A and B are shown apart, each in its own frame.
Chain A
Amino acid sequence: MQQGHLGRRSFLRGSLLGFTALVMPSALRALEFGGANMPWSAGAASPPYAGITDARYFAASEYAMVDAITARIIPSDDTGPGAKEAGVADFIDHQLAGFYGRGQRWYMQGPFPEPLETQGYQAPHPPAELWRTGLAALEQHCRDNHGAGFAALEDDTQDDILRAMEDGEIDLGSTNAAQFFDFMREMTIEGFFCDPVYGGNRDMVGWRMVGFPGARYDYRDFLHHNGASIDMPPVGLMGRPAWTRQ
Chain B
Amino acid sequence: MTQLHREVDVVLVGFGWTAAILAHELTQDGLEVVALERGGWRDTPTDFPTTHAPDELRYYWRHEMFQETAQETQTFRNRRGQTALPIRRWGSYLPGVGVGGGGVHWNGQTFRFLPSDFLARSHNEDRYGPLPDDMTVQDYPVTYDELEPYFDQFEKLCGISGQAGNLRGDIRAGGNPFEGWRSDEYPNPPMEMTFSQHRFAQGAHDMGLHPYPGPSANMSRGYTNPLGVRLAPCTYCGFCEKFGCGNYSKASPQTTILPIVMQRPNFRLRTYCDVLHVNKDRDNTRATGVTYVDAHGDLHEQPAQIVILCGYQLSNTRLMMLSGIGEIYNPATGEGQVGRNYTYQVMSGVDVFYDDAYTNEYIGAGALGMVVDDYNGDNFDHSGLGFIGGAYIACWTTNARPIENQPVPEGVPEWGAEWKSALRKNFLRHTSLSVHGASMAHRENYLDLDPVYKDRYGRPLMRMTYDFTVNDRRLSEHITPIAADIARGMGGREIKVNSLDSSYDIWPYQTTHNTGGTIMGASPDDSVVNRYLQSWDLHNLFVMGAGAFPQNAGYNPTGTVAALTYFSARAIRDQYLRDPGPLVQA
Report the separation of the CA atoms of residues A35 and B270 in the bound assembly, to the nearest whole angstrom: 12
Report the minimum CB–CB distance from A201 to chain B (whole Å): 9
> Please, which residues of chain B bring their CB within 8 A of the CB of A195?
55-58
- Say whether A59 faces chain B, with CB atoms less than 8 Å apart: no
Interface string of B475-509 (1 = CB under 8 A from A): 00000000000000000000000000011111100
A116 contacts partner chain B, Cβ-Cβ < 8 Å: yes
A109 and B85 alpha carbons, distance in the complex (Å) = 10
In the bound complex, CA of A51 to CA of B57 (Å): 10
Cβ-defined partner of A193 (8 Å) among B56, B271, B415, B428: B56
Chain A CB within 8 A of B417 CB: yes
Kindly list chain B residues whose C-beta atoms are within 8 Å of the C-beta of A210. Answer: 402, 423-424, 427-428
Residue A218 lies at the interface, judged by CB distance under 8 Å to chain B: yes
A224 CB, min distance to chain B CBs, angstroms: 8
A106 adjacent to B89 (CB under 8 Å)? yes
Residues of chain B having any CB pair with chain A under 8 Å: 41, 43, 45-47, 49-58, 61-63, 68-70, 73, 76-78, 82-83, 85-89, 91, 192, 194-195, 198, 233, 235-239, 246-247, 254, 258-259, 262-265, 267-273, 294-295, 354, 356-360, 362-363, 400-403, 406, 414-417, 420-421, 423-424, 427-428, 452-454, 502-507
Chain A minimum-CB-distance residue to B426? A210
Cα A211 to Cα B82 with chains together (Å): 45
In the complex formed, the residue of A with least CB distance to B296 is A31
| 8 Å CB contact of B78 from A37, A111, A116, A228 | A116
- A40 surroundings in chain B (CB, below 8 A): 43, 45-46
A107–B76 Cα distance when bound, in Å, is: 13
CB-contacts of A178-213 with B (<8 A)? 185, 188-190, 193-195, 198, 206-207, 209-213
- The minimal Cβ–Cβ distance linking A160 to chain B, given in whole angstroms, is 11
Q: Does A18 contact B (CB under 8 A)?
A: no
CB A137 to nearest CB in B, in angstroms, measures: 20
Report Cα–Cα, A205/B427, bound state, in Å. 15
Which B residues are CB-close (under 8 A) to A230?
358, 360, 363
Assess whether A217 is in contact with B362, with CB atoms less than 8 Å apart.
Answer: no
Bound CA span A209–B424, Å: 6
Can you name 19 extra interface pairs (CB under 8 A) apart from A31-B270, A121-B91? A31-B271, A31-B294, A33-B269, A35-B262, A38-B258, A40-B46, A45-B46, A46-B47, A103-B88, A107-B70, A113-B85, A122-B88, A189-B406, A190-B57, A210-B428, A217-B53, A220-B236, A225-B358, A229-B358
Our pick among A28, A37, A212 for the contact of B46 (Cβ within 8 Å) is A28
Q: How many angstroms from the CA of A40 to the CA of B258 in the assembled complex?
A: 14
Please give, as numbers and ranges, the residues of chain B lying within 8 Å of A119 by CB-CB distance.
76-77, 85, 506
Within the assembled complex, what's the spacing in Å between the Cα atoms of A213 and B356? 20
A109-B453 contact in complex given A40-B43, A195-B57, A220-B236, C-beta closer than 8 Å? yes
- B-contacting 9-mer, from A1-9, A60-68, A72-80, A143-151: A72-80
Q: A residues touching B (Cβ–Cβ < 8 Å)? A: 28, 30-41, 44-48, 50-51, 72-75, 77, 79-80, 82, 100, 103-109, 111, 113, 115-122, 159, 162, 166, 185, 188-190, 193-195, 198, 206-207, 209-220, 222-230, 237
In the complex, the answer to whether A100 meets B62 with C-beta atoms within 8 Å is yes
Can you report 27 residue pairs joining A to B where beta carbons are below 8 Å apart? A33-B270, A34-B265, A35-B262, A35-B263, A38-B259, A39-B43, A40-B43, A40-B45, A40-B46, A75-B416, A75-B417, A79-B421, A104-B70, A106-B68, A109-B454, A121-B507, A159-B416, A194-B57, A216-B237, A217-B237, A219-B363, A220-B236, A222-B363, A225-B363, A226-B198, A230-B360, A237-B51
Q: How far, in angstroms, from A161 to B458 measured CA to CA in the complex?
A: 43
Residues of chain B within 8 A (CB-CB) of A82 are: 420
Total of A-B residue pairs, C-beta within 8 Å: 243
User: Which of B89, B235, B400 has a CB less than 8 Å from the CB of A217?
Assistant: B235
Pick the residue among B49, B294, B400, B415 that contacts A45 (CB under 8 A).
B49
What CA separation (Å) do A73 and B500 show in the bound complex?
A: 28
Q: With A47-B51, A122-B88 known to touch, is A73 a contact of B416 (CB < 8 Å)?
A: yes
Quote the shortest CB–CB distance from B472 to chain A (angstroms).
Answer: 15
Asked if A121 contacts B89 (CB within 8 A), the reply is yes
What residues of chain A lie closer than 8 Å to B254, measured between beta carbons? 38
Secondary structure of the A contact surface, majority rule: loop
Distance in angstroms from B189 CB to nearest chain A CB is 14
The reply to whether A120 and B89 form a contact with Cβ atoms under 8 Å apart is yes
Asked if A35 and B264 make an inter-chain contact with CB atoms under 8 angstroms apart, the answer reads yes
Q: Is the CB of A32 within 8 A of B270?
A: yes
Q: How far apart sit A32 and B37, CA to CA, in the bound complex (Å)?
A: 10
Chain B residues, Cβ within 8 Å of A159? 416
**A107–B194 CA distance with the chains assembled, in angstroms:** 41
Closest 9 A/B residue pairs (Cβ): A227-B357, A210-B427, A193-B402, A34-B268, A218-B235, A105-B68, A107-B69, A219-B363, A194-B57
CA A103 to CA B88, docked complex, whole Å: 9
B56 touches A32 (CB 8 A): no
Q: Residue B402 contacts which of A122, A166, A206, A222 (CB distance < 8 angstroms)?
A: A206
Interchain nearest-CB distance for B41 vs A (Å): 6
Instruction: Check B52 against A46 for contact (C-beta < 8 Å).
Output: yes
CA distance A212 to B424 in the complex (A): 10
Given A75-B417, A108-B88, A210-B424, A227 and B403 touching (CB < 8 A)? no
> Contact between A211 and B427 (Cβ–Cβ < 8 Å)?
yes
A residues in contact with B86, CB < 8 Å: 107, 109
Residues of chain B lying within 8 A (CB to CB) of residue A109: 86, 453-454
Contact A225 B424 (CB under 8 A): no
* A45-B263 contact in complex given A75-B416, A75-B417, C-beta closer than 8 Å: no
Query: B49 touching A35 by the CB < 8 A rule?
Result: no
Which of A35, A113, A117, A225 touches B360 (beta carbons < 8 Å)?
A225
A124 (CB) vs chain B CBs: closest residue: B88
CB neighbours (8 Å) of B421 from chain A are 77, 79
> Which residue of chain B has its CB nearest to the CB of A230?
B360
Hey, which chain B residues are within 8 Å of A30, CB to CB? 41
Contact among A33, A73, A215, A222 for B54, CB-based, below 8 A: A215
Q: Is the CB of B46 within 8 A of A185?
A: no
Whether A207 pairs with B402 at a CB distance below 8 angstroms is yes
Chain B residues positioned under 8 Å from A33 (CB to CB): 41, 262, 268-271
Nearest-neighbor residue (CB-CB) of B55 within chain A: A195
Q: How far is the CB of B400 from chain A (nearest CB, A)?
A: 6
Taken together as a complex, chains A and B put the C-alpha atoms of A35 and B88 apart, in Å, by 39
A36 x B270 contact (CB < 8 A): no
A16 to B46 CA separation, bound complex (whole angstroms): 15
Most-contacted residue by chain B among A39, A100, A206, A211 (CB, 10 A): A211
Q: Say yes or no: A121 contacts B88, CB within 8 Å.
A: yes
Residues of A within 8 A of B424 (CB): 79-80, 209-210
CB distance from B45 to the nearest CB of A (A): 6
Determine if B417 and A227 form an interchain contact, defined as CB atoms under 8 angstroms apart: no
Pair B88/A237 contact, Cβ less than 8 Å: no
Contact B49 A36 (CB under 8 A): no
Cα-based distance from A225 to B237 in the complex (angstroms)? 15
B413, closest chain A residue (CB): A163
Please tell me if the beta carbons of B358 and A106 are within 8 angstroms of each other in the complex: no
